[in-house]
């Protein structure tokens, strides 16, 4: 990009490290928190506020990834970048896909029972992968598409003026809005096309923040307003004041959550405190937290059911809070243990 200084790759940005941790916690909360059937308006309102904030988690992850991958890859050969990415992400991702596949079990049981041939089995695995496998793993299906595009985006970053790069990103954002509004669902490995706009704007917004060209922290005010707006859409739809909750909620909340994601990113992009080793270490665990949080939640549920405390899963708001906190803490602990084990095996 013509306005990008020809200096070394950007240094560590602590505001982004904090935001990455917050986004990882949001993902866990999004999958752990639940609305009780027949809950009070206060509980639904609180849940709506939580869902509104947690709904920004994936856009934030994509923005953060683009903010560093695109500028940092501008002088790296594509094959070298892809090789490094495969070595870094593929082993753990593959392990969790295999676990999810056998956890689900249906396809393997049908294959071993002789219901279809090996060729049909392989085809059904590819279909299972294309559909996002189990829902929380859809992000892993989309991620390779983003990594494939990084060298091209880095090349454009070096050669396009900032306004042209931003215009291209906004066109791709418009493509995502079009798919969202028209009900078109791409197979998850191709859904990266819908996220490239976020990916590109992450790099651009962080650059603008480094050059002090973003608005000041007054962005907190519209961010808070959009959080409340998104919450009210959840609340009104749950109270049957808006169309069907599940069929129309994504379209209703898409725009405030999209803008809220950008505002939160800009706020943290302007905040770059002194490095903290604990924060840097926790930030390095976020990918593992994403991988392990659903197994951890299922284990907690299994423990509650087998110990006779399953009623707590449908109890009051405080039990909901405790269950969500247990999910967050267990996911972080499991990620820490896996990270240590992976490093020991790799060094061995």
Rounded mean pLDDT for each run of 10 residues along the chain, 348 residues in total? 41 88 88 68 70 81 92 87 85 75 68 77 70 62 87 93 90 75 68 87 88 65 63 61 47 64 86 88 88 80 75 64 80 83 66
* Helix (H) and strand (E) counts in the chain: 14, 0
Where does residue 271 rank: exposed (0-12), middle (13-18), buried (19+ CB within 10 A)?
middle
Radius of gyration of the chain (CA): 21
| pLDDT given for residue 241 in this prediction | 56
- Taking the CA of residue 99 as centre, how many other CA atoms within 13 Å lie in the half-sphere pointing to its CB? 11
pLDDT at 254: 59
Determine the 3-state secondary structure of 276 from DSSP: coil
Residue 226: Cβ within 10 Å count: 22
Check residue 20 and give its pLDDT. Answer: 93
Look at residue 245 in the predicted model and tell me its pLDDT: 44
- Output the pLDDT for position 314: 61
pLDDT recorded at residue 240: 59
pLDDT at residue 94, rounded to an integer = 77
How far, in Å, are 96, 106, 283 from residue 299 at the CA level? 15, 20, 24
Query: What pLDDT score was predicted for residue 6?
Result: 37
Burial status of residue 245 (CB atoms within 10 A of its CB: 0-12, 13-18, 19 or more): middle
pLDDT score, position 307: 78
> What pLDDT score was predicted for residue 118?
79
d(CA 246, CA 241): 14
Distance CA 153, CA 4 (A): 14
Contact 134, 101 (CB under 8 A): no
pLDDT at 297: 78
- The pLDDT assigned to 95 comes to 77
């Amino acid at each position: 990009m013509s306005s990008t200084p020809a200096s070394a790759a950007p240094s560590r940005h602590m505001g982004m490290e904090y935001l990455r941790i917050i986004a990882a916690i949001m993902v866990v909360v999004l999958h752990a928190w639940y609305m009780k059937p027949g809950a009070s308006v206060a509980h639904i309102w609180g849940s709506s506020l939580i869902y509104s904030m947690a709904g920004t988690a994936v856009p934030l992850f994509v923005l953060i990834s683009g903010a560093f991958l695109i500028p940092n890859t501008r002088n790296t050969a594509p094959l070298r970048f892809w090789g490094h990415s495969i070595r870094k992400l593929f082993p753990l991702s593959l392990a969790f896909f295999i676990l999810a596949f056998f956890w689900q079990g249906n396809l393997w049981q049908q294959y071993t029972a002789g219901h279809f041939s090996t060729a049909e089995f392989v085809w059904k695995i590819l279909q299972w992968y294309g559909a996002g496998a189990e829902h929380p793993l859809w992000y892993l299906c989309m991620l390779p598409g983003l990594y494939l595009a990084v060298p091209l985006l880095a090349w454009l970053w070096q050669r396009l003026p900032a306004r042209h790069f931003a215009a291209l990103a906004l066109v791709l954002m418009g493509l995502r809005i079009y798919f969202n509004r028209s009900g078109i669902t791409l197979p998850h490995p191709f859904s990266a096309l819908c996220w490239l706009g976020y990916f590109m704007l992450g790099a651009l917004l962080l650059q603008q923040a480094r050059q002090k060209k973003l608005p000041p922290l007054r962005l907190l005010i519209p961010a808070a307003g959009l959080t409340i707006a998104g919450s009210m859409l959840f609340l009104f739809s749950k109270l049957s004041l808006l169309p069907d909750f599940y069929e129309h909620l994504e379209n209703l909340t898409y725009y405030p959550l999209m803008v809220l994601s950008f505002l939160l990113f800009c706020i943290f992009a302007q905040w770059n405190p002194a490095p903290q080793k604990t924060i840097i270490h926790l930030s390095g665990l976020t990918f593992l937290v994403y991988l392990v949080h659903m197994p951890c939640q299922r284990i907690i549920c299994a423990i509650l059911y087998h110990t006779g405390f399953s009623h707590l899963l449908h109890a009051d708001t405080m039990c909901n809070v405790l269950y969500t906190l247990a999910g967050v803490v267990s996911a972080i602990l499991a990620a820490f243990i896996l990270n240590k084990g992976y490093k020991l095996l790799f060094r061995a």
